[in-house]
């Protein structure tokens, strides 16, 4: 029973998120022989102000001069 939990920065279209869910679902079917009815995919969209790397949020990087 794969439970696949994805965190991604907010900003994708519903179509992109649907394509991501589909691709991950298929990958679980094909790589670990998971039955489709047993696969759960959760997509968590994170606000840019709540996601940081190297002590800088995505929002700060996007607001930086020269961006």
**What percent of the chain clears pLDDT 90, i.e. is strictly above it?**
96
**Which two structure tokens, joined as six digits, stand for 65?**
């001069």
Asked if 52 and 58 count as a contact pair (C-beta separation under 8 A), the reply is yes
Tokens 């790589």, residue located = 31
Instruction: Write down the pLDDT at residue 21.
Output: 98
The whole-number average pLDDT for the span 24-35 is 97
Question: pLDDT tens-digit profile of 7-16?
Answer: 999 999 999 9
CATH at 38: 3.30.429.10
Q: What is the CA radius of gyration of the chain?
A: 15
**Alpha-carbon span 11 to 55, nearest angstrom:** 21
State the residue range of the domain holding 55: 3-63
Please give the tally of structural domains in the chain: 1
Give pTM, 2 decimals.
Answer: 0.86
């Amino acid at each position: 029973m794969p439970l696949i939990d994805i965190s991604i920065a907010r900003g994708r279209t519903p179509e992109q998120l649907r394509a991501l869910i589909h691709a991950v679902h298929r990958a679980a079917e094909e790589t670990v022989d998971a039955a489709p009815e047993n696969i759960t995919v959760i997509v968590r969209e994170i606000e840019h102000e709540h996601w940081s790397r190297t002590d800088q949020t995505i929002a700060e990087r996007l607001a930086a001069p020269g961006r």
